[in-house]
């Protein structure tokens, strides 16, 4: 996935109301859309170097969208709208071997009671001083919706279908994937039940640059709390 038009560099002034942020660009404060409903722990502190996308859509109230945040020497993608597209690109290019060999690829297919099959979770949480130093973690806030989807994937697995939960880490500075047990114990319990039912789990890291984002490499899973 390439950014088109090219991203614009700025400095974050503040993030507020979940989906809004003020960014200083060329000496002027611009209000931008923040496409991430999570807590964004460890990201987006005032003064952070960020990159935004200006989309030419006349119907948008805010033309600028927050895309990347610099954390130390790494860029982190914060747009939760990208994981499905990134996996779709990888499937069509044959660079996601765990999910290779299917004759057809369909997007946004309904399943269960009220879910869609393309539910992929964006991972950007990394806490160097947290319980899993160096790991990509999920979730960064309580997600009842995420737990519900795991429950419905478990039903697919129990019925004999293949169900795979794909976590997408839009960053390249993590050495494994772990669940943030201290943030959402209910989600961890839902994952435990889903795995017992046969749901598979994958986590991929991404190569993130100001030019674009692509799937990079799988991360080892530490879902049982062991390092």
Q: How far apart are CA 86 and CA 80, in angstroms?
A: 11
Q: What is the pLDDT of residue 115?
A: 46
Q: What is the pTM of this model?
A: 0.87
Whether 16 is in a domain gets the answer yes
Note whether 72 and 130 are same-domain residues.
no
Same domain for 89 and 63: no
Distance between CA 96 and CA 90 in Å, rounded? Answer: 6
Q: What is the CATH number of the domain that holds 155?
A: 3.40.1350.60
So what's the pLDDT on residue 183? Answer: 95
Residue where a domain terminates, one of 36, 51, 76: 76
Are 120 and 215 in the same domain? yes
Poorest-confidence range of 81-85, 181-185, 211-215? 81-85
CATH of the domain at 64: 2.40.50.580
The pLDDT assigned to 118 comes to 56
Domain count across the chain: 2
36 and 65 fall within a common domain: yes
| Count of residues making up the chain | 227
Write out pLDDT tens, residues 30-66. 999 999 988 888 887 899 999 999 987 778 889 999 9
Q: What is the pLDDT of residue 225?
A: 52
Residues 149 and 186 in one domain: yes
Residues 119 and 64 in one domain: no
Quote the pLDDT of residue 111: 55
Residue-level pLDDT at 58:
74
Same domain, 178 and 117: yes
**Same structural domain, 172 and 110:** yes
What pLDDT shows up at residue 113?
57
Considering the domain architecture, whether residues 88 and 183 belong to the same structural domain is answered as yes
- Per-residue pLDDT at 227: 41
Residue 3 within a domain: no
- The answer on 93 and 60 residing in a single domain is no
In a domain, 25, yes or no: yes
| Cα 16 from chain centre | 20
Per-residue pLDDT tens over the stretch 110-146: 655 554 555 567 788 999 888 998 899 999 999 998 9
Residues 146-175: tens digit of each pLDDT: 999 999 999 999 999 989 999 999 999 999
Which domain covers residue 159, as residue numbers?
83-222
pLDDT greater than 50 at residue 4: yes
In this structure, are 63 and 116 located in the same domain?
Answer: no
The model's pLDDT over 60-108, given as tens digits with 9 standing for 90+, comes to 889 999 999 999 999 999 999 898 889 888 888 888 899 887 766 665 5
Q: What is the model's pLDDT at position 165?
A: 92
pLDDT of residue 25: 97
């Amino acid at each position: 996935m390439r950014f088109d038009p090219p991203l614009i560099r700025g400095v974050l002034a503040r993030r507020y109301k979940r989906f809004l942020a003020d960014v200083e660009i060329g000496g002027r404060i611009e209000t931008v859309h923040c496409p991430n409903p999570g807590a964004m722990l460890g990201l987006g502190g005032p003064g952070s170097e960020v990159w935004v996308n200006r989309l030419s859509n006349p119907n948008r109230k805010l033309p600028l969208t927050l895309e990347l945040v610099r954390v130390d020497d790494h860029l982190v993608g914060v747009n939760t709208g990208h994981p499905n597209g990134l996996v779709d690109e990888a499937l069509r290019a044959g660079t996601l071997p765990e999910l290779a060999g299917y004759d057809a690829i369909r997007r946004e297919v309904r399943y269960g009671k009220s879910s869609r099959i393309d539910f992929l979770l964006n991972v950007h949480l990394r806490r160097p001083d947290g319980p899993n130093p160096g790991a990509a973690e999920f979730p960064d806030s309580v997600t009842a919706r995420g737990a519900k989807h795991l429950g419905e994937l478990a039903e697919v697995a129990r019925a004999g279908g293949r169900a795979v939960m794909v976590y997408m880490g839009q960053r390249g500075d993590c050495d494994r994937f772990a669940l943030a047990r201290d943030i959402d114990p209910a989600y961890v319990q839902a994952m435990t039940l889903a795995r017992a039912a046969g749901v598979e789990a994958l986590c991929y890291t991404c190569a993130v640059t100001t030019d674009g984002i692509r799937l990079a490499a799988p991360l080892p899973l530490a879902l049982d709390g062991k390092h």
